[in-house]
Chain A
Amino acid sequence: MSLFVQSLILGILLGGLYALLASGLTLYFGVMRVVQIAHSAFLILAAYLAWFFATRTGLDALLSLVITVPLFFVVGVGLQRLLITRLKPATLTMMSVLLTFAIALIIEGMLGFVFTGVQRRIHFSYGSASVPLFGAEVPVVKLVAFALAVLALGALWLILKKTGFGQALRATIQNKEAAQLVGINTDRVASYGFGLGLATAAVGGTALAMDATIYPSLHWHWIGPLMAIIVVGGLGSVPGAAIAAMVLGISQSLLQIPLGTTWAQTVFYVALFVTLMVRPQGFFGGRLAQRF
């Protein structure tokens, strides 16, 4: 019983992390039909920056967010303006896979060149601490990562729902031409949307760095599950991705008890296949993905 409670708690925390890591990915697709293979590479880049910051300054890795979040936003805007907009609209989705694949390789190579292939981990005082809850142990870093996820996703929700920019962004997601007709500068909105997505990668990467060992090629292990999450959640839907992440995270954690680690990992791909067979537009995405 206690193993069940322990696994459930760990599953919820894991789901929160997945939601944070996947939110940006679904946003890019929603705004621009861009499949951002490099999203997980940017996560690892942010994780390296957090590690570098923490080991050099001796300060908490969380403080690196002050630098990385605005930096990643600007990089995202620049990336969209300089590279993504050059792709032909008719083949945008396909070509964006190629383009961002190249970016992922560049980031991986650069990390290997600058920081070498040595695997890194931030060592800090509360890294292995935990608080008891219902007879289970709740790791403090995983709680911090979960809190980061809640804050980042909450902020994203507020921006999308409550601001003029958010309205314009949602209008662009729903129907680009119509949005242009009512006077929205969809190009600028799209680049800010891209920047926003990359900013979530900065937050996610920092959360990742606090509780994982990082190395340049780590991003290949993440992109698969994250892609599965956003397809199950419905491409372009941030709440959909968050719910799918939570469901899959908890399922993975609980299935580990009877099935073991190897088979529990397949939950992402089983969910992906089932989604594509039963509801190809995803469970929450609605109209958007039907065009894909």
Chain B
Amino acid sequence: MSRWTSRRRRTSALIAGIGATALILSACSGGGDEGGDDVAEGGDEPILIGISLPLTGDFAEPGQGVQRGYELWAETVNANGGLLGREIELKIVDDQSNADRVVADYEALITQDEVDLVIGPFSSRLVLASARVVDEYGMLFVEPAGAAANIFEAGYGNLFYAAPAIADDHYNYLYDYIMEMPEEERPQTASYATMDDPLAQGAAYGLKDKLEEAGITTLVDEVYPPNTTDFSGIAAALAEADADLLVGGTQYQDGVNMIVAVQQLNYQPRMAAFTTAPTLPEFVDALGDGVEGVLAPTGYSPTADYEGNAEFVEAIAELYDREPSEDEANAYTAGQVVQAAVEAVGCAEQGECQQELIDWLHSNTVPTVVGDLAWDEAGRPNGAHFIQQYVAGQPEIVLPADQATAEFINVKPEW
């Protein structure tokens, strides 16, 4: 009996201790926030923006990139006098890359934290899960990373994808370019190998559908599960078919592994395009000279002459001594879109204001670091991705012609 009481006492003491620590911690962070308030112009409350991001788990790397993009956007706006004269304050919570967590996060941000605005999480899977709950509360939902077709098919009127194009349209410039090539130079056959993933497969199949319609024969059409690590079998099928054009619907490791596997079997396509992998800096470290001529759609170019891009590139360079990543750029873009709507409508709070913001975005074009964006009813952006190609070992924009930094290499050197 006495053992029990003493243990219970110890437990309650422990709980009290934890509680006290939490209080002290929140007091400290609260103090910091208040300090920020005083600085805000006009003495108004800051605009609180709720965001859930995958800061740990599968999407931790890109998730943290998105976080950097959002934070940089908020700092930039605050440095320029804030939004509607009010300071922006971000409340970022970690959803651990978990679709259940992300739903609970947005619910809590909207109802408990009573945020004024929300911005989207990272990756199609988490956007799809969170879009429903944000829609239920009738709030504007600008998201930086949900390009998969089914997000838009769900028909949320409040959703806007803050990037140039949905997955199906990523290769539009490449398709146009191929169609403009003289008949005899144009690839006649194509092989597709794609991960069973909405983004990667969406981009590859978007191109496949258009090319098939244009009469370019499909020789191989392989879909592999995301956990595939051995690509020798797929490479054997690709090498056997020997198509002119190879399209890989890839993320990262699968793209690199697939390229090495087809190199090993000495398959030399005249044109090769992969999603995501070639846009990452480690791609060159992994493949060396093999990257020359490899194509990829990319939603962002540091050299593009778009609204605020030079400023954004400079800020990232100052902070991290490198060029911005696509994730950072997409998050920054999402911020710009929200900012444009809020400034035009003149409000930022829950309630009727949200519908006004939504209506404004449906009928206006917003200049951003990835170009001028406008959306259809379902939130699909109207543009297409840049096409990037490795030229002399460097990733260069080759399409569209007016933003190109290098000449398109028609016949890929052997890898």
Q: Residue of B at shortest CB range from A7?
A: B236
A262–B224 touching, CB < 8 Å: yes
Question: Within 8 Å CB of A261, what residues of B?
Answer: 222-225, 228, 233-234
Residue contact A257 to B237, C-beta cutoff 8 Å = yes
Q: Is A46 an interface residue (CB 8 A)?
A: no
CB distance from A143 to the nearest CB of B (A): 10
Cβ-defined partner of A10 (8 Å) among B196, B233, B260, B263: B233
Q: List the A side residues contacting B224 at CB < 8 Å.
A: 260-262
Q: Please choose the segment from B286-294, B326-334, B397-405 that sits at the chain A interface, where 4 or more of its residues have CB less than 8 A away.
A: B286-294
Whether the Cβ atoms of B234 and A256 lie closer than 8 Å is: yes
The verdict on A180 contacting chain B, using a C-beta distance below 8 Å, is no
Q: Which residue of A lies closest to B232 (CB)?
A: A10
Distance between Cα atoms of A221 and B60 in the complex (Å): 18
Q: Are B266 and A123 in contact (CB under 8 A)?
A: no
Q: Is A154 an interface residue (CB 8 A)?
A: no
A6 to B60, CA, bound (A): 38
B113 at the interface (CB under 8 A from A): no
Residue in contact with B225 in the complex, picked from A6, A215, A218, A265, CB distance below 8 Å: A265
Interface 9-mer from B249-257, B295-303, B338-346: B249-257
> Which of the 9-residue segments A24-32, A59-67, A75-83, A125-133 touches chain B?
A125-133
Residue of A nearest to B228 (CB): A261
Cβ-defined contact, B286 with A217, below 8 A = no
Nearest-Cβ distance from residue B72 to partner chain A, whole angstroms: 20
B61 in contact with A118 (CB, 8 Å): yes
A217 CA / B227 CA spacing, docked (Å): 11
B224 and chain A: residue at smallest CB distance = A261
Give the Cβ gap from A263 to chain B, nearest Cβ, in Å: 10
Query: Among the listed stretches A134-142, A158-166, A185-193, A227-235, which one makes contact with chain B, having 4 or more residues with CB under 8 Å of it?
Result: A134-142
Minimum distance in angstroms from A48 CB to a CB of chain B: 14
A139-B196 contact in complex given A119-B252, A217-B58, A265-B225, C-beta closer than 8 Å: no
Contact of A119 among B237, B239, B253, B261 (CB under 8 A): B253
Contact B232 A139 (CB under 8 A): yes
Contact present for A119 and B282 (CB under 8 Å): yes
Q: Does A212 contact B (CB under 8 A)?
A: yes
Given the known inter-chain contacts A117-B60, A128-B290, A213-B252, please indicate yes or no for A253 contacting B222, CB distance below 8 A: no
Chain A residues, Cβ within 8 Å of B240: 2-3, 6
B311 lies within 8 A of chain A by Cβ? no
Complex formed: what's the CA distance from A262 to B196 in Å? 9
Main secondary structure of the interface of A (DSSP, over half): helix
Q: Are B232 and A14 in contact (CB under 8 A)?
A: yes
Point out the residues of chain A lying under 8 angstroms from B61, CB to CB. 116-118
Decide yes or no whether B184 CB sits under 8 A from chain A.
no
Q: What distance in Å separates the Cβ of A16 from its nearest Cβ neighbour in chain B?
A: 12
Complex alpha-carbon distance, A119 and B60, angstroms: 13
The 8 A CB mask of A256-275 against B (1 = contact, 0 = none) is 11001110110000000000
Q: Does A120 contact B (CB under 8 A)?
A: yes
Name the B residues within 8 Å of A130 (CB-CB). Answer: 264-266
From the candidates A118, A127, A221, name the one contacting B229 in the complex (CB within 8 A).
A221
Is B285 part of the contact surface with A, judged by Cβ < 8 Å? yes
Expressed in whole angstroms, the Cα–Cα distance for A261 and B265 within the complex equals 18
CB atoms of B264 and A139 under 8 A apart: yes
B233 touches A129 (CB 8 A): no
> What chain B residues lie within 8 Å of A7 (beta carbons)?
233, 236
Chain B positions within 8 Å of A2 at CB level? 240
B192 at the interface (CB under 8 A from A): no
Q: Is the CB of A260 within 8 A of B223?
A: yes
Chain A: number of interface residues, binned into ranges = 35 or more
* Chain B: minimal CB distance from A51 (Å): 11
Q: Which of under 10, 10 to 19, 20 to 34, or 35 or more describes the interface residues of B?
A: 35 or more
Which of chain A's residues have a CB closer than 8 A to the CB of B253? 119, 212-213, 215, 218
**Cβ contact within 8 Å between A253 and B290:** no
Report if A3-B236 is in contact (Cβ < 8 Å); known contacts: A130-B266, A265-B225: yes
CB proximity of A175 to chain B, nearest CB, Å: 38
CB distance from B333 to the nearest CB of A (A): 23
Decide if A129 touches B286 in the complex (CB within 8 Å): no
Chain B residue with Cβ nearest A122? B286
Whether A6 contacts B260 by the Cβ 8 Å rule is no
Q: Hey, what's the 0/1 contact readout for B56-80 against A, CB within 8 Å counting as 1?
A: 0010110000000000000000000
Contact across chains for A221 and B223 when beta carbons are under 8 A apart: no
Give Cα A261–Cα B237 distance, bound, in whole angstroms.
11
Chain A residues near B232 (CB-CB < 8 A): 10, 13-14, 139, 142, 253
Q: Mark B161-188, 1 if CB is under 8 A from A, else 0.
A: 0000000000000000000000000000
Known: A261-B233, A262-B225, A265-B228. A6 touches B264 (CB 8 A): no
**Would you call B236 and A213 a contact (CB within 8 A)?**
no
Q: Is A101 an interface residue (CB 8 A)?
A: no
The answer to whether A264 touches B286 (Cβ under 8 A) is no
A123 touches B264 (CB 8 A): no
The answer to whether A121 has its CB under 8 Å from any CB of chain B is yes
Do B227 and A221 touch across chains, with their CB atoms under 8 A apart? yes
Check if B229 sits within 8 Å of A137, measured CB to CB. Answer: no
Q: Which residues does chain A contribute within 8 Å of B261, judged by CB atoms?
A: 139
Let me know if B415 is at the binding interface, CB within 8 A: yes
CB contact between A222 and one of B223, B229, B285 (< 8 Å): that residue: B229
Measured between alpha carbons, how far is A31 from B240 in the docked complex, in Å? 45
Look across to chain B and name the residue whose beta carbon is closest to the beta carbon of A126.
Answer: B264
Q: Which residues of chain B in 210-255 are interfacial with respect to chain A, using CB atoms and an 8 Å cutoff? A: 222-225, 227-230, 232-234, 236-237, 239-240, 252-253
CB of A68 within 8 A of chain B? no
How distant is B279 from chain A, measured CB to nearest CB, in Å? 13
User: What are the residues of chain B within 8 A of A264 when measuring CB–CB?
Assistant: 233
Known: A120-B286, A140-B264. 16 other contacts (CB 8 A): A119-B256, A130-B266, A137-B239, A139-B232, A139-B261, A141-B264, A142-B264, A212-B253, A213-B257, A221-B227, A252-B233, A256-B233, A256-B234, A257-B233, A261-B222, A262-B223
Nearest 5 interchain pairs by C-beta: A128-B263, A139-B264, A256-B233, A121-B286, A261-B224
11 residue pairs A–B, Cβ–Cβ below 8 Å: A7-B233, A13-B232, A117-B60, A119-B256, A121-B286, A129-B264, A137-B264, A140-B264, A142-B232, A260-B222, A261-B223
Q: Which residues of B does A touch, CB under 8 Å? A: 58, 60-61, 196, 222-225, 227-230, 232-234, 236-237, 239-240, 252-253, 256-257, 260-261, 263-266, 282, 285-288, 290, 415
